[in-house]
A and B are shown apart, each in its own frame.
Chain A
Amino acid sequence: MDSFLWVVRIGAIVLLIWGVAGTVVQGLSGQGPTGEAWRDLVVAGIAQGAMYGLIALGYSMVYGVLGFINFAHGEVFMSGGMVGFFVANYLWEVGLWETNFVLAILLVLLSSILTSTLVAVIVERIAYRPLRASPRLIPLITSIGISFFLQYTFAGLFGVAVKNYPPPPESLRSRISLLGLEIEGSKLLVIVVAVATMVGLYLFVEKTRTGRSIRAVAEDKEIAALMGIDVNRTIVATFAVGGAMAGVAGTLWALLFRGVSFITGFLPGIKAFTAAVLGGIGNLPGAMAGGVLLGLFEGVGPQLVLAGFGIPGVSQLKDVVAFTALVLVLIFKPTGLFGERLSAEDRA
């Protein structure tokens, strides 16, 4: 078995080098993307990946505490983006969006965070808490049901058409010079906000009393309870923090893509789950790094690797590249790039 894995590993490396070499040869012969285009691909990949990372935090936190994948988390993200749209549209109609964009986007962010947090907490209270003692497969299947329930509830409430956020101000749509690189303002803002949010979350989990409770419950619920920690309240806090991260991602999504619909959460949710596994499930920095890497794989991978083989229409294969990258990472490092953080029960 080990020798087979080594054959797969070596084969993957050879194919990777072959593809990249082919792309380099194409580039030297004047074909393929320009330097500016590569820069745009990298920046877009990081920005998209930062959002995956923020959503992945929710997956990772819930997995760390309860040991199951909450597949409804993509819809928690969508709910924030959807409600944020109505707030943004109102602010556009009253003129605040154009006269004071900073205040407007903060209000949108606040509404998005509140909505996602509320949805996450309600889902935990109604759907998952009654199943706390059930085998893990039960809440997992329930989460898939909740995912569809939320999708079609929002479709019923707000309609199925795509809703377009108002355009951001010109300053965000134009390019900003940073360290000699011309980067689109909205993408730079998304990356900065995502990194700041991640740092804030890290400090919250590491330095605050609630954060310590979350870590303790993730380690061992029974021992944590014996130490006087309110496990139920801590689990609610975990869902709330994960929901808040998804709410931030919902607003960043609006800044980047502007369109939201009832199925907006589905694909990013799957990708974020992939990012969480890529970085090491249960590991918060790993989830964020996994998201950014996944975004980069998606954004750059098709052009960098597949174009070198002369494959036409490579950008349509970005999902193939992303999930192949996941498989390869797990072949080389089965616990994810940054290692899993499992509870005492799971380690046993």
Chain B
Amino acid sequence: MKGILRARRLLAVAVLLVAACGESVPAADSDLTGLEFEAGPLGAVVVPPGEQIQIRSLNTISGDNAFLGIPNQRGVEMAIEDYGPVAGREVSMGTPLDDLCSPDGGQSGAQATVADPSVVGVIGTTCSSAAVAASPLISDAGMVMIAPSNTSPALTSDLAGNPSPSHHPGYYRTAHNDLFQGKAVALFVRDHLGLDTAAAIHDGDPYTQGLAEAFRDAFEELGGVVTAFTAVNKGDTDMIAVLTEVAAGRPQTLFFPVFMPEGAFIVQQVDGVAGLEEVTLIVSAALLVDNFMELPESEGVYISGPDLRFGDNRNSITGRSAAELLDAYEAAYGEPPSGGYLAHAYDATTMLLRAIDRVAVAIDGTLHIDRAQVRDELTRTNMDGIIGPIDCDQFGDCGTQRLTVLYNTDARNIEAGKNNVVFEYAP
């Protein structure tokens, strides 16, 4: 018993020292002998000699939103390769899991993950709807998940110190919180465009509804009038009914943070609705996708989303810059990333790997990774990422909250639209 206590004290001192020293000082560089590891309240992952450390990627890699999730998954692969061995072990991502951008996909992906006790943590999900279903399972299993592109406020907090209904310990994200994006769009409409009335359409998804609500609340706080707040069903094609409902209030702005194909149907049909001839259309990053921006009707549409101008930012763990990451991505996969959250996924993975590196303890050749300590380590994260400073609050919001609004001017030259920043917001 005394031996165990001594070992725990030694480990605690070692972990504190590592934390105090800053970056990449692995606790498991030296193998301890003759000690017994006692796991914390959430248990520990035991990695036998010669085996790999297991993490997982749970992202949208099929369906309409695969454009977002595939670069996320590749970001995980690239970060694992750049980081190298963790506590002297190789890291395996296993078979990529698909969150299907849906609660069903999130739940089944999380079930597959928690069924394997060797998994330390997950990079994912891509979609907030999947995270709402996945995070309770991951949390109950003592694991951690770091989401590169979940932005729903429902997953973390109200930014006033209160946890959101779907917040669970062990959930972190490098993406922004949509309460900030809602504020950004509201400021853009009120201050930049000088418009007084707006309507919003969502599709019931936690992401779209959360963002539309954040916009509504912020817009009303700024003195604007929300003339309609309504929804479509996923799978709807005829948008005339919802647009007619919106047109009754004659809004100057219509904000519809929905996905494809519903977003395309709205821009294609809005011209045919009396009362919306002059309305200003604003969408979110869910429609920052080529087959939306290439539509002739998407010319003149504003697109809000995370600020992707990373400049000279570098990931302080691997040293990679955004430009180097993009070059490496194109070299490895033969195409530019189709979604905007590659850097978020890359930074998230390095966060997780460093946390494992710091808490892992090798005893007699076996690696022990205490799950509670991984969480504590992630909560203490304070690093520079490609996306900018990464600093987690107690509810898991870690990302930089810099947002922009783009203006799509030419459907035949969408790269110009992707770089045409007309408004920026950094709280």
Contact = CB atoms under 8 A, between A and B. Distances in A.
B265 A259 contact: yes
B235 to A, nearest CB: 5
A316 B274 contact: no
Contacts of B204: 316
Contact of A299 (B62, B240, B271, B294): B240
B238 A37 contact: no
A268 B238 CA distance: 11
Contacts of B316: none
A32 B238 contact: no
Contacts of A212: none
Contacts of A36: 274-275
A255 to B, nearest CB: 11
B275 A37 contact: yes
Given A173-B271, A316-B204, A303 B64 contact: no
A315 B245 contact: yes
Nearest to B241: A315
Interface stretch (A159-167, A221-229, A283-291, A330-338): A159-167
B231 A303 contact: no
A264 to B, nearest CB: 8
Given A44-B240, A312-B230, A34 B248 contact: yes
A314 B260 CA distance: 22
Given A32-B248, A36-B274, A37-B247, A299 B241 contact: yes
Contacts of A267: 235, 237
Contact of A257 (B268, B295, B296): B268
Nearest to A261: B261
Contacts of A31: 248
A9 B274 CA distance: 36
Nearest to B239: A315
A184 interface: yes
Interface in A293-317: 298-299, 302-303, 307, 312-316
Interface string B260-276: 11001100100111110
Nearest to A32: B248
Interface residues of A, number: 40
Contact of B240 (A41, A167, A175): A41
A296 to B, nearest CB: 11
B229 interface: yes
B4 interface: no
A164 B238 contact: no
A161 B62 CA distance: 9
A48 interface: yes
Given A44-B238, A261-B261, A299-B238, A314 B245 contact: yes
Nearest to A38: B244
B258 to A, nearest CB: 12
A256 to B, nearest CB: 8
Interface residues on B, range: 35 or more
B291 A164 contact: yes
A40 B240 contact: yes
Given A160-B64, A162-B264, A298-B238, A33 B232 contact: no
Nearest to A300: B241
A34 B275 contact: yes
Given A44-B241, A298-B241, A162 B261 contact: yes
Nearest to B231: A316
Contact of B244 (A40, A161, A163): A40
Given A298-B241, A299-B240, A303-B244, A37 B64 contact: no
Interface in B174-200: none
Contact of B232 (A41, A162, A257, A315): A315
A321 B325 CA distance: 51
A32 B250 CA distance: 11
Nearest to A42: B240
A315 B242 contact: yes
A263 B261 CA distance: 11
B271 A316 contact: no
Contacts of B67: 161
A74 to B, nearest CB: 12
B241 A302 contact: yes
A167 B241 contact: no
Interface string B36-66: 0000000000000000000000000011101
Nearest to B62: A160
Contacts of A316: 204, 230-233, 242
Interface string A159-193: 01111100100000101000000001000000000
The residue among B62, B236, B241, B275 with the most chain A CB atoms within 10 A of its own CB is: B241
Contacts of B64: 160-162, 261
A337 to B, nearest CB: 22
Given A164-B291, A318-B233, A318-B236, 4 more contacts: A33-B244, A41-B240, A256-B238, A263-B235
Interface of B: 62-64, 66-67, 204, 229-233, 235-238, 240-242, 244-245, 247-248, 260-261, 264-265, 268, 271-275, 291, 294-297
Interface of A: 31-34, 36-37, 40-41, 44, 48, 160-164, 167, 173, 175, 184, 256-259, 261, 263, 266-268, 298-299, 302-303, 307, 312-316, 318-319
28 contacts: A31-B248, A33-B244, A33-B247, A34-B275, A37-B274, A37-B275, A40-B240, A40-B244, A40-B272, A41-B240, A41-B241, A44-B238, A48-B238, A161-B260, A164-B264, A167-B296, A173-B271, A175-B272, A256-B237, A258-B264, A263-B235, A267-B235, A299-B238, A302-B245, A303-B245, A314-B230, A315-B230, A316-B204
